[in-house]
Structure 1
Amino acid sequence: MTPPPGDRLPGCTFCDIVAHDVATDLVLDESSMVAFLDRRPVFPGHVLVVPRLHFETLVDLPLRLVEPLFATTRRVAGAVARAMEADGSLVLMNNRVSQSVPHLHIHVVPRRFKDGLRGFLWPRQRYEDDEAEARVAAAVRAALATEAISDAPQQGG
């Protein structure tokens, strides 16, 4: 049985890291967020930023933790770029699809020009036509208009 969001999930690798039950190279350990080196980095300096409490996806994260998560990620992105003497960074989050650990986490990967990752994530494509693009935009606008702004977890993450 899955515990309520925010509790520690038994068997969750990231919950174990946050609790210091699993050794890892922590780079940041604060009251609401933790950051540590990815064990299988895209490039050296690849860091994962995670909330201390267990939430599976971004839409599960309470609004009160959204700002700390992104403020921490911003700090880590700057620090990683400086520490690794990188030209910039890739900041990425998967929500369920391609999410290897079901604990919300943001990847911060140092990037360099000509590092070979150009377009590595997704092949880009155009909409079939202007009408198809308009239908998608209308669907997203409608979903946003009916969204309840609250601190409760939402579906669809």
Structure 2
Amino acid sequence: MTCTFCEIISKNLPARIVKETEETLAFLDIDPIQKGHVLVIPKRHVPDLTDMTDVEMNQVMTLCKEVMSSLRTAYNPDSISIIQNNGECMAFPHVHFHVVPRFTGDGFVMREPEITVSDEEMDRVARELEKNML
């Protein structure tokens, strides 16, 4: 399967690039949530965030920060959301961060949780995750 983002990186597919470094790429999302919606990706094909090196993570987050600064100057948003997607089940199985300018009343919301978890279960989950932290 061909990776759309890798095709953009190799310039086989067009994109409106806002910044490119040796290791990262930022470009406009073709199906934006809001005007100025940017995707930030590592250039190395990485399907899952846990496969990124610490250096790659730092480079991608640095570019996210630069995009945020540019969005603030260009559009003066009320806030900025960063949404991270990764994993093989995603439409684009290449780690990517959505950097989205937000405005009061823009209508964008994350969907509400579909489950209820007891306090006891929340405590158990927190302990289990803490135990497995690197």
TM-score (norm 2): 0.90
Aligned to 1:93, the other structure's residue is in SS state strand
TM-score (norm 1): 0.78
Structure 1 segments, 4+ long, off by >6 Å, are none
Residue pair 2:19, 2:27 contacting (<8 A) in 1 also: yes
Code of the residue aligned with 2:127 in structure 1: it is A
Within 5 A, what are the aligned runs for 1:52-67?
A: 52-67=43-58
User: Which position in structure 1 is the counterpart of 2:7?
Assistant: 16
Structure 2: 5+ residue stretches without partners: none
Q: Aligned pair 1:31/2:22, yes or no?
A: yes
User: Which position in structure 2 is the counterpart of 1:151?
Assistant: none
Q: Measure, in 1, the Cα distance between the counterparts of 2:81 and 2:55.
A: 25
User: Which position in structure 1 is the counterpart of 2:102?
Assistant: 111
User: Which position in structure 2 is the counterpart of 1:135?
Assistant: 124
More strand by share: 2
The Cα offsets for residues 85-138 of structure 1, whole Å up to 9 and x where unpaired, read as: 211211001223862200111000110011112xx213146631x321210111
Q: Measure, in 2, the Cα distance between the counterparts of 1:109 and 1:98.
A: 22
Residue pair 2:86, 2:96 contacting (<8 A) in 1 also: no
Identical-residue share of aligned pairs (%): 30
Residue pair 2:5, 2:94 contacting (<8 A) in 1 also: yes
The Cα offsets for residues 16-73 of structure 1, whole Å up to 9 and x where unpaired, read as: 1111111110000111100000000011110000111100111111122111111111
Q: Measure, in 2, the Cα distance between the counterparts of 1:108 and 1:98.
A: 21
